[in-house]
Structure 1
Amino acid sequence: MSLTYSLGDLTIHRVIEQETSFVPALEMLPGLTGEVLAENRAWMREAKALDQQDVLLLCFQSYVVKTPHHTILIDSCIGNDKPRPQRPKWNMKTDDTYLRALNAAGFSVDDIDFVMCTHLHVDHVGWNTRLENGRWVPTFPKAHYIFAKQEFDHWSAQNAKAEIPPFADSVLPVVEAGRHELVGNDHAIGDHVRILPTPGHTPGHVAFTMGRGKDDAVFSGDLMHSPLQTHYPELSIKFDVDPDAAAKTRRSFLERYCDSDTLCCTAHFPSPSVGKIRRKGNGFVCVAV
């Protein structure tokens, strides 16, 4: 299985923290019927996207992208030492899987210039910080952390009403350390990195497009969680804050990139997780490269 992709003047590395069963398909995708699941069960199991109990299999990973100018980490996964009682596999984790995978890709925490978050959910911000002498400190000490302002403002307001643990332990300590930057949708880094607004999963969810002058690669975040959602873009997950908006955004995104050379790097599709979007009937498919 390849963990590294080179295209144009980008090199993309997958850094996997977990690849595991998550939530039953019929629970995760409220619009999914037993009949549609049955029609798709065989290829989903073959693609390692569904287990024998019809539970979705998801990958939890970061991407590290080398441009000619910068080393950029996209979405920092689950993290260690964090109280996540609703998710036993994430709760108070202490393993070295993530940092070993980062090192195996050829990077140390000091090598990262930018950490970019598609949104601020628990499994996309976890390694933003690590516990040091009882305090949360930025894991990547030299990095600028890029947060979409609309997304940050949304979670700030929620956190003001009642503490949101991932925001409190994985976002605010970065802000307190003065390592963050709140950006609008027109933000770019050099001539290689741009923001593509993709609202629906969260109010300020964004994708990142990379490449000089064209989208060689796009990092879709939680725009879609399972390959089933490329076949049926109208299927939104139960965690989408606005399921209708998420479905519209997803179809628009898939239309934008279908039959192009852009490499679509998904957050949660089972390995290999990346591919090119192709049209299939009234839907699409992400074809591995």
Structure 2
Amino acid sequence: MTTHETFLVGDARIIKVPELALDAVDAAQLFPEDNLKGLISDASHWGKRSYDFENGLLRQSIHAWVVQTPTHTVLVDTATGNDKLRPATPLFHQLKEPFLERLQAIGVSPETVDFVLLTHLHADHVGWNTRLQDGRWVPTFPNARYVFSEREYRYNLALSRERGAVASIQRQAGIGTPRHQPLDGVFEDSVMPVVEAGLDQRIEIDNTVIEGFRFHSTPGHSIDHASISVTSRGETALFWGDVMHHPLQFRRPETNSVYCEFPTAAQQSRHKAMQLAVELDALVFTTHFGDSSVGKVSRQTHGFDWQFIQGARP
């Protein structure tokens, strides 16, 4: 049985809900543009919960965050989802993970979720937006408001149905030409059913506030990627989405993952997010770091550094 770590930020109670443990990640595949020897050296700095010393492989995670405030139950991102057809990405293809059972184990049923806040619309962040029911994709959280970027929506809609609009949306974003596009099929099975059900709230990202949660513009990994913060009693939690994929990037902040669509903007947003974490003195909640996935950012003479923070266990 999974033991869930809990983090308290003011009056907010935050819990990681795991979906996939990625314990055999090839650094050269995740960060193909960097030097493998240097990557391994930097990865090992964070110990065996971030690096498999025996096999020379990175440890990562895919999970969602539950945030329970005095008034709402909120999900930040929704991991990969079950039954999704992802033949181009075997790791995500037709999963059968007990994610909803793990939610239930911490007292959260789909009906009790009030908001689903999405940092971006990639496959491993929107998958549990929907579930397969009688051969149809239906919203998993029927009473929730799903909040995400209007630009991300329009871009993915254009890639899916209106290819002639893609170049215009890219120009409006002003972050260059992407080196690749989002994974096929994700928008159709994990985003459109939410929109068709009328549960979506599409927003302009920079500094928009929804029920106390502030969206910060950190584009690059995707066209309108957001980081999300919430402050309670003077303490701040900052959800990074995919600003970084492994703590080794603190030592190599110019290094993008293979999944970052707009490389230069991703580098710039990485620096912005580190700076923001320090300015807010935030507890940072990542999506793909191993270990607790939570930590503090500090400013050092060489740039920034990361320290994992462990939560309380029941």
Query: Do these two structures clear the TM 0.5 threshold for a shared fold by scoring above it?
Result: yes
AA at the equivalent of 1:271: D
Task: Note the alpha carbon deviations across 1:234-255, whole angstroms, 9 max, x for none.
Answer: 1111111111111111012112
Match of 1:176 among 162, 179, 196: 196
AA at the equivalent of 1:83: L
Q: How far is the alpha carbon of 1:35 from its aligned partner?
A: 3.4
Consecutive unaligned residues in structure 1, runs of 5 or more: none
The 5-angstrom pairing of residues 40-55 of structure 1 reads: 40-50=42-52, 52-55=54-57
Q: CA RMSD in A?
A: 2.1
The 5-angstrom pairing of residues 70-109 of structure 1 reads: 70-96=72-98, 98-109=99-110
User: In the alignment, which residue of structure 2 is the partner of 1:16?
Assistant: 18
CA distance in 2 between counterparts of 1:167 and 1:103 reads: 26
Q: How far is the alpha carbon of 1:50 from its aligned partner?
A: 4.5
CA distance in 2 between counterparts of 1:2 and 1:31 reads: 35
Q: Is the 8 A contact 2:44 2:50 kept in 1?
A: no
1:211 partner SS:
strand
The runs of at least 4 aligned residues of structure 1 exceeding 6 Å deviation read: none
AA at the equivalent of 1:20: L
- The 1:75/1:22 distance shift into structure 2, 3 A limit, reads farther
CA distance in 2 between counterparts of 1:12 and 1:79 reads: 21
Q: Is the 8 A contact 1:51 1:57 kept in 2?
A: no
Task: Note the alpha carbon deviations across 1:11-57, whole angstroms, 9 max, x for none.
Answer: 10110001113642122113321331243253255233456443332
2:90 partner SS:
coil
Q: Is the 8 A contact 1:61 1:267 kept in 2?
A: yes
Q: Is the 8 A contact 1:259 1:277 kept in 2?
A: no
User: In the alignment, which residue of structure 2 is the partner of 1:219?
Assistant: 239
CA distance in 2 between counterparts of 1:215 and 1:200 reads: 27
1:266 and 2:267 aligned: no
2:7 partner SS:
strand
Match of 1:229 among 230, 249, 252: 249
Q: Is the 8 A contact 1:219 1:266 kept in 2?
A: yes
Match of 1:187 among 190, 196, 208: 208
Q: How many pairs were matched up?
A: 287
- The 1:247/1:56 distance shift into structure 2, 3 A limit, reads same
CA distance in 1 between counterparts of 2:153 and 2:227 reads: 15
1:63 and 2:84 aligned: no
Q: How far is the alpha carbon of 1:89 from its aligned partner?
A: 3.1
User: In the alignment, which residue of structure 1 is the partner of 2:124?
Assistant: 123
Sequence identity (%) = 36
AA at the equivalent of 2:259: F
AA at the equivalent of 2:189: D
Q: Is the 8 A contact 1:74 1:115 kept in 2?
A: yes
CA distance in 2 between counterparts of 1:22 and 1:49 reads: 9
CA distance in 2 between counterparts of 1:133 and 1:176 reads: 17
CA distance in 1 between counterparts of 2:121 and 2:259 reads: 13
CA distance in 1 between counterparts of 2:51 and 2:256 reads: 16
CA distance in 2 between counterparts of 1:38 and 1:12 reads: 31
Mean alpha-carbon deviation: is it higher for 220-229 or for 154-163? 154-163
1:101 partner SS:
helix
- The 1:214/1:165 distance shift into structure 2, 3 A limit, reads farther
User: In the alignment, which residue of structure 1 is the partner of 2:225?
Assistant: 205
AA at the equivalent of 1:269: F
User: In the alignment, which residue of structure 2 is the partner of 1:246?
Assistant: 266
- The 1:2/1:260 distance shift into structure 2, 3 A limit, reads farther
AA at the equivalent of 2:156: W
- The 1:176/1:41 distance shift into structure 2, 3 A limit, reads closer
CA distance in 1 between counterparts of 2:87 and 2:35 reads: 30
- The 1:41/1:65 distance shift into structure 2, 3 A limit, reads closer
Consecutive unaligned residues in structure 2, runs of 5 or more: 164-182, 310-314
TM-score by length of 1: 0.92
Q: Is the 8 A contact 1:148 1:182 kept in 2?
A: yes
Question: Which structure is richer in relative contact order (CA contacts within 8 A, separation 6 or more)?
Answer: 2
CA distance in 2 between counterparts of 1:216 and 1:259 reads: 10
Task: Note the alpha carbon deviations across 1:175-229, whole angstroms, 9 max, x for none.
Answer: 1111111111242123x21111100101110011001485610000011100111
- The 1:20/1:142 distance shift into structure 2, 3 A limit, reads same
User: In the alignment, which residue of structure 2 is the partner of 1:114?
Assistant: 115
